[in-house]
Amino acid sequence: MTDTSASRPAKRVFIKTYGCQMNVYDSERMRDVLRPIGYAPADSADEADLVILNTCHIREKATEKVYSELGQLKLMKQERGGDLTIAVAGCVAQAEGAEIMRRQPAVDLVLGPQAYHKLPEMIARASRAKGDRLETEFETLEKFDALPKTREADGPSAFLSVQEGCDKFCTFCVVPYTRGAELSRSVDDITAEARSLAAQGVREITLLGQNVNAFHGAAPALSNEADWTLGQLVRHLAKIGGIERIRYTTSHPRDMDDDLIAAHGDTAAMMPFLHLPVQSGSDRILRAMNRGHTAEDYREIIRKVRAARPDIALASDFIVGFPGETHADFEATMQLVRDVNYAIAYSFKYSARPGTPAADMAGQVPEQVKDARLQQLQQLLREQQAAFNRSKIGQTVPVLVTGRGRNPGQAHGRSPWLQAVHFDLSGDHRAHDRDPDAFLRDLVGQIVDVRVIDASLNSLTGELVPVREAAL
């Protein structure tokens, strides 16, 4: 081991992330903001001087987890004689900041998703006084502008935030209240970040937004064009050298325009995967949810997407037990799932969120009914997911290598359809001729051919298809 004590930064930060990929991205950006003021990342709260919980408010269960975690941290802080700074960030912070301070006085600071660039200032303030510890104003543009344009990449796959917030106001959802109004970043800013990532070896970028296909970012500064759509942005980013794979998440059926659908067919970097939440297969429920589309509208989009890209893997989100959901409504959801046939899907019991219109609707569904419906739906979704993974057995698929695999002599990577792939390197003579670790290190960030041998619910296993020497 080398001695790094001379250069070791004075402090360490541990960020625990809950919820969606937007929070994963925000946690990375908080690390970026804290690095210049001397905070290095820690692997656990035990090793940290500053612990940040980046929280999720989407369902009640997610919120309650935060309070129980804070209870643990309070004990840790007491054991250390107060020598631990505790921060709560994310959507719970935004929605109930004052309540957090009241319920857990050990918390030093609370900051909403638009305030991360102010972290250094807030930490300094918190250490000086117990005053101003709450920062939950909405200033999305300021956040986008204030965050560094370049960032440290962590492996060959990276998230890139292009849009935040949501104006759709689905009646069950807290996002429009916690993340604020829909707002897009400029194409120039996004391009600068994508270039910086590509220069650091990133090959796959996932464009992020609560409503990512509602993207309408300012066109490049000198172009004099109107705002760009997501389809235009994808085609533009695909031209950056090194960016070989582009994904986007999460989208809304109402914003699935024809150009974006066409890009799935004509842009090589666009990966054959689409996460398009539908929530329910019943028109009555979709109306009560204020989704702004019918089940048939959704089926039509799926038909078009499949026509553009026949091998596309489809993903979705579902809510069971929305107020007023009858057995027939639920059956319509099951039928939609059978018709579409998903590669993967996320399903949830409806959770009443205070302040949202659905929380006050008549016909709240009993918990046991929700449980039974969720089980039934998840059983069907699991069958579809396993079948989708099995359908790749025997195929040779391009895999972006991300690191070491589960077992020695194995690497890990990702298929175009977002499946985790564990694959054996031993079939390739270079794994024997060279130091195996060095061989694996060289492979990370490359897209290699893997023959799929087996599949489980959550991953594929296979073996590296040897390439001729000249190819490396």
List contacts with ligand SF4 (CB under 6 A): 166, 168-170, 173, 175-176, 210-211, 252
Give the residue from 274, 342, 337, 272 showing the smallest Cα distance to 311: 272
Please identify, using beta-carbon distances, which residue of 305 and 319 lies nearer to ligand SF4. 319
Rounded least distance, CB 205 to ligand SF4, Å:
21
Strand ranges of the sheet holding 204-208, from the earlier edge strand across to the other edge:
157-161, 204-208, 245-249
Using CB under 6 A, pick the residue from 351, 384, 402, 410 that binds ligand 5AD: 351
* Least CB distance to ligand SF4 at residue 380 (A): 22
Nearest-angstrom CA–CA distance, 460 and 392: 8
Query: Cα–Cα distance between 459 and 415 in angstroms, integer?
Result: 10
Q: What pairing do the DSSP bridges indicate for beta strands 447-455 and 459-464?
A: antiparallel
d(CA 317, CA 250): 10
Q: Which of 12, 29, 59, 143 binds ligand 5AD (CB under 6 A)?
A: 59
> How many residues of this chain interact with ligand 5AD, rule: CB under 6 A?
12
252 binds, among ligand SF4, ligand 5AD, none (CB under 5 to 8 A by kind): ligand SF4
175's CB contacts (< 8 A; 6+ apart) are: 58, 91, 165, 166, 210
Supply the DSSP symbol for 346.
E
Q: Which of 275, 353, 412, 414 binds ligand 5AD (CB under 6 A)?
A: 353
Tokens encoding 175: 């996002």
Nearer to ligand SF4, 184 or 210 (CB): 210
- Residues 41, 186, 53: CA angle, nearest 5 degrees: 25
Closer Cβ to ligand SF4, 252 or 422, answer by number: 252
Three-state DSSP at 175 gives helix
Q: How far is the CB of 143 from ligand SF4 (least distance, A)?
A: 18
Rounded Cα gap, residues 467 and 264, in angstroms = 28
How far, CA to CA in Å, does 151 sit from each of 35, 39, 334, 454? 11, 15, 43, 37
Shortest reach from residue 60's CB to ligand 5AD, in Å: 8
Please, which residue, 26 or 189, has the CB nearer to ligand 5AD? 26
Say which entry of ligand SF4, ligand 5AD, none residue 27 contacts (CB below 5 to 8 A, set by partner kind): none
Q: How far is the CB of 179 from ligand 5AD (least distance, A)?
A: 12
Q: Binding pattern to ligand 5AD, positions 310-349, x when CB under 6 A?
A: -------x-x----------------------------x-
Q: How far is the CB of 304 from ligand SF4 (least distance, A)?
A: 20
Q: With respect to ligand SF4, which residue has the nearer C-beta, 170 or 183?
A: 170
**3-class DSSP state of 223:** coil
Where in 321-468 does DSSP place strands (E)? 344-349, 396-404, 410-414, 420-424, 447-455, 459-464
DSSP string for residues in 269-296:
TB-SEEE---B-S-HHHHHHTT-SS-HH
User: Cα torsion for 72, 53, 166, 314, to the nearest 10°?
Assistant: -90
Q: Judged by CB, which is closer to ligand SF4: 278, or 401?
A: 278
Annotate each residue in 369-388 with x if it binds ligand 5AD (CB under 6 A) or - if it does not, as one string: --------------------
Whole-number minimum distance, CB 151 to ligand 5AD, in Å?
A: 25
CB of 210: closest distance to ligand SF4 in angstroms?
5
Residue type, 88: V
Under the binding rule (CB under 6 A), the answer on residue 255 touching ligand 5AD is no
| By the rule CB under 6 A, 58 interacts with ligand 5AD | yes
Identity of the residue, 210 or 410, whose beta carbon is nearer to ligand 5AD in the bound complex: 210
Q: Out of 87, 111, 173, 212, name the contact with ligand 5AD by CB under 6 A.
A: 173
When CB distances are held under 5 to 8 angstroms depending on the partner's kind, the choice from ligand 5AD, ligand SF4, none that residue 211 binds is ligand SF4
DSSP state of 218: P
**For binding to ligand 5AD (CB under 6 A), which residues are involved?**
58-59, 172-173, 277, 279, 317, 319, 348, 350-351, 353
